[in-house]
Structure 1
Amino acid sequence: MSQQRNIKIIGMIPAYNCAHLLKKAYEQVPKEYFDDIIVVDDGSTDDTFTVAKTLPVKSFTHPHSGYGGNIKYAIQKAMELGTDYCIEIHGDGQYDPSNIPAAIQKIQAQRPDFLLGSRFIPMLQPLRDKMSLVRYLANLGMSLIDRLVLGLPLSEFHQGFRVYGRTLIETVGLEGTSNDHLFSFQIIAKAAFCRLTVLEIPVRCDYAGEHTSISLKRSVVYALQTFGVLFLFILARLGFRTRLFRCIS
């Protein structure tokens, strides 16, 4: 389908210690929407890469670097393969693959620089999908602050379903970003700083099945770190540029 609009779309599956979940996650992906699919293993200690090599995809592995490091490595590989857009597909299958056709339709119709999937459209959907109340309220509160500071009219800023456009990567760069989960918020803030087009679509997420996720302690650390990113964003807007906030082109 991507060829109809002369754009190349690559599905990238970042994976870490999810050998028992990876094959099922891959099987649920609608392959017809992609020109290529890659699996990028973040130095797993289980058989994740072994499983990846049995799948009809391009598979890569590298020393463990964390969620952000793995995403950056995957984006780099997708860019080397000539992608115009790369769609992040979780190797543990947490995000419903039925979200993918809507994402493809959105990028073909509007060509955003960055497309995010929101679990909060409609607002109560996460609770219906069994998100915990604590996580739900924390996400709502953080996203409200993010929306006010970054000036992006998004319903959620802390999701895992994303479509990265080539223009986004070439404009904001990946230098100075975290190798941990904070990367996922930094890249949104960088896009806002460079005034790129960031859109969202509703997505569904499975909280009932077995998935990989960060601990409560790391979630709290992540939340505090996002406030640091917002502070740097404000400073950058006032003219105090940092390595994180700069526009390459």
Structure 2
Amino acid sequence: MMNEELKKQLRNRGICVIIPTYNNDTTIKTVVEKSLLYCDDVIVVTDGCTDCTTDILDAIDGITIVSYPQNRGKGYALKMGFRKALEMGFSYAITLDGDGQHYPEDIPLFLKANQEYPQSLIIGSRQLEGVDRSKGSSFANKFSNFWFYVQTGRALPDTQTGYRLYPLHRLCGLSLLTSRYEAELELLVFASWHGVKLVPIPVQVYYPPRNERVSHFRPGKDFARISVLNTVLCFLAVVYGLPLRLWRTLMTFLRTAYSLLFFLFFTLVVFTPFVWIYTKVGKMTECRRYRLHQLIYHASRFVMIHHGIPGTKYEYKVAEGIDFNKPRIIICNHQSHLDLMCQLVFTPKIVFLTNAWVWNNPFYGSLIRNAEYLPVREGLDEIMPHLRSLIERGYSIAVYPEGTRSKDCRIGRFHQGAFYMAREFGLEILPMILYGPGKILPKTGWHLHKGKFFVEVDKPLTQEELSAMGDLKQQASTMRKRYKEKYEEIANRMEQ
């Protein structure tokens, strides 16, 4: 990734770099200048430096300096850096030490992890194999890892690393933070207790020769302080951390159970019997079939907008002048079982192309079949006459060009079917971009997460605009590229 593009992506996601430093005059210039190669937004906290660190930093353009006269410790420096970053409008902060131990070249790894795991605390796990470390340093890391597991029930390979990406709006226990370097462990513990996902990623580490190392660690005093802290945290783990974890687990179960029971009740007790009676009593005229679509439309709006799925919120943005009563081919990225309901809130005059298992589903298959949602079994040719009839009756056809749900919400390869139908029927293509369903109910997940649904309906594309992209394969490729760019833009906005 080119550095300018990296800088742009970091800024779009609200990510800055924070470097706390105390008397690192031999390394700080190199660390800051290398960081500026990857990120334009660098905050350096001078923790009461008594050497020439401050003078060196004053000579570097393009950085923000937070300074105070008395040395207060790394915990206090981090707190001041986080506060400054929040004041400046950032949502995330990558922290690295000023002693040259961490490589700014690894900043792209944190960006990639943040894109994959938004709102998570990313931990740069140092690759320490073959590194010349003191026995005290090695023991301290193992000691810290052990007590972290005891206090949280989570295992991490490196709890003492200072190379991390923090979600600033999810920092917990900041007001209780100890002032020295053990504050980083405390931040991890509080984050874990409050349900922040902790994601370790491998990073490089540099340890200079022993005679060149600068360390402010005082073995006797600091180990005593760490032991006291671990004693306090173990007590809090029992009276505070564990109840929080149990409460979170209970609420996740209740949200999922409620939604599942809600779904089963309305499909088995309400919709399925109603549809059976509705279709068996009297002739299925066009007017009666449209009322069935209106029922689906109002039910979707009730669930997604008015009633809502517990712990979620639904928002949408529609391009100016969109008339949903005009037949079009609607394309959308595919993430979750919830995608259909996200789209159905806009109009009753929409029909989906589905997989065979959806069409034959024992719970809602009858509703799907009677609403004329069509299965794609052996290509489009066999259903083209039925699609033409639907379009002539004023319905839009919704297609997922990816063909299957994405496991990680990334935009997969687009098939050509939607563009073929648009060409054959002479219709515009209406793009819809979904964000959220794949995070709230992932393809491989079994329970509902908290989150936000967002749907953006873009301007329709005419056949002239589509033809200008090239043949069907080129149209599919071009639209996939647009979707990737648009989804990244939406994700950057939603995940800050």
Distance of aligned partners of 1:238 and 1:96 in 2 relative to their CA distance in 1, 3 Å threshold: closer
The residue type equivalent to 2:112 in the other structure is: Q
Residues 125-158 of structure 1: per-residue CA shift (max 9 Å, x gap): 4241212244224422431332243122321212
Equivalent in the alignment of 1:27: 33
Q: In the alignment, which of 148, 166, 169 is matched to residue 167 of structure 1?
A: 169
Equivalent in the alignment of 2:42: 37
TM-fit CA distance, 1:219: 4.2
In structure 2, C-alpha distance between the alignment counterparts of 1:2 and 1:110, rounded to whole Å: 19
Distance of aligned partners of 1:227 and 1:78 in 2 relative to their CA distance in 1, 3 Å threshold: same
Alignment partner of 1:103 is 2:116: no
- The 3-state SS of whatever aligns with 1:128 is coil
The residue type equivalent to 1:129 in the other structure is: V
Indicate conservation of the 8 Å contact 2:145/2:155, yes or no.
Answer: no
The residue type equivalent to 1:97 in the other structure is: P
In structure 2, C-alpha distance between the alignment counterparts of 1:194 and 1:26, rounded to whole Å: 32
In structure 2, C-alpha distance between the alignment counterparts of 1:83 and 1:238, rounded to whole Å: 31
Equivalent in the alignment of 1:62: 68
Q: After the TM superposition, which of the residue ranges 92-101 and 80-89 deviates more from structure 2?
A: 92-101
Indicate conservation of the 8 Å contact 2:82/2:168, yes or no.
Answer: no
TM-score, normalised to structure 1's length? 0.84
Indicate conservation of the 8 Å contact 1:181/1:222, yes or no.
Answer: no
Indicate conservation of the 8 Å contact 1:118/1:202, yes or no.
Answer: yes
Equivalent in the alignment of 1:53: 58
In structure 2, C-alpha distance between the alignment counterparts of 1:227 and 1:173, rounded to whole Å: 15
Residues 36-65 of structure 1: per-residue CA shift (max 9 Å, x gap): 111111111112111111112111211321
Alignment partner of 1:146 is 2:148: yes
In structure 1, C-alpha distance between the alignment counterparts of 2:28 and 2:140, rounded to whole Å: 29
- The 3-state SS of whatever aligns with 1:19 is coil
Indicate conservation of the 8 Å contact 1:158/1:184, yes or no.
Answer: yes
In structure 1, C-alpha distance between the alignment counterparts of 2:129 and 2:242, rounded to whole Å: 38
Alignment partner of 1:224 is 2:227: yes
Name structure 1 gaps, 5 residues minimum: 120-124, 241-249
Indicate conservation of the 8 Å contact 2:66/2:80, yes or no.
Answer: no
In structure 2, C-alpha distance between the alignment counterparts of 1:99 and 1:40, rounded to whole Å: 21
Residues 75-127 of structure 1: per-residue CA shift (max 9 Å, x gap): 111111111111112111111222211111111222143111112xxxxx424
Structure with the largest fraction of helix: 2
Distance of aligned partners of 1:238 and 1:116 in 2 relative to their CA distance in 1, 3 Å threshold: closer
- The 3-state SS of whatever aligns with 2:75 is helix
In structure 2, C-alpha distance between the alignment counterparts of 1:177 and 1:13, rounded to whole Å: 18
Indicate conservation of the 8 Å contact 1:33/1:104, yes or no.
Answer: no
The residue type equivalent to 2:53 in the other structure is: T
In structure 1, C-alpha distance between the alignment counterparts of 2:140 and 2:168, rounded to whole Å: 31
Equivalent in the alignment of 1:116: 123
TM-fit CA distance, 1:239: 5.8
Q: In the alignment, which of 233, 244, 249 is matched to residue 237 of structure 2?
A: 233
The residue type equivalent to 2:83 in the other structure is: Q
In structure 1, C-alpha distance between the alignment counterparts of 2:102 and 2:9, rounded to whole Å: 26
TM-score, normalised to structure 2's length? 0.44
TM-fit CA distance, 1:35: 4.1
TM-fit CA distance, 1:218: 4.0
Indicate conservation of the 8 Å contact 2:150/2:234, yes or no.
Answer: no
Indicate conservation of the 8 Å contact 1:2/1:33, yes or no.
Answer: yes
Two-structure CA RMSD over aligned residues (Å): 2.2
The residue type equivalent to 2:237 in the other structure is: F
Distance of aligned partners of 1:89 and 1:139 in 2 relative to their CA distance in 1, 3 Å threshold: closer
Q: In the alignment, which of 62, 80, 85 is matched to residue 78 of structure 1?
A: 85
Q: After the TM superposition, which of the residue ranges 144-153 and 198-207 deviates more from structure 2?
A: 144-153
Distance of aligned partners of 1:141 and 1:175 in 2 relative to their CA distance in 1, 3 Å threshold: closer
Indicate conservation of the 8 Å contact 2:119/2:170, yes or no.
Answer: no
Equivalent in the alignment of 2:465: none
Q: After the TM superposition, which of the residue ranges 160-169 and 2-11 deviates more from structure 2?
A: 2-11
Equivalent in the alignment of 1:179: 179
The residue type equivalent to 2:52 in the other structure is: D
Indicate conservation of the 8 Å contact 1:19/1:48, yes or no.
Answer: yes
Alignment partner of 1:16 is 2:19: no
Indicate conservation of the 8 Å contact 1:9/1:35, yes or no.
Answer: no
In structure 2, C-alpha distance between the alignment counterparts of 1:4 and 1:117, rounded to whole Å: 20
- The 3-state SS of whatever aligns with 1:40 is strand
In structure 2, C-alpha distance between the alignment counterparts of 1:12 and 1:45, rounded to whole Å: 20
Name structure 2 gaps, 5 residues minimum: 1-5, 245-496
Distance of aligned partners of 1:137 and 1:183 in 2 relative to their CA distance in 1, 3 Å threshold: closer
Q: Percentage identity across aligned positions?
A: 27
Distance of aligned partners of 1:143 and 1:55 in 2 relative to their CA distance in 1, 3 Å threshold: same
Indicate conservation of the 8 Å contact 1:12/1:37, yes or no.
Answer: yes
- The 3-state SS of whatever aligns with 1:126 is coil
TM-fit CA distance, 1:179: 1.0
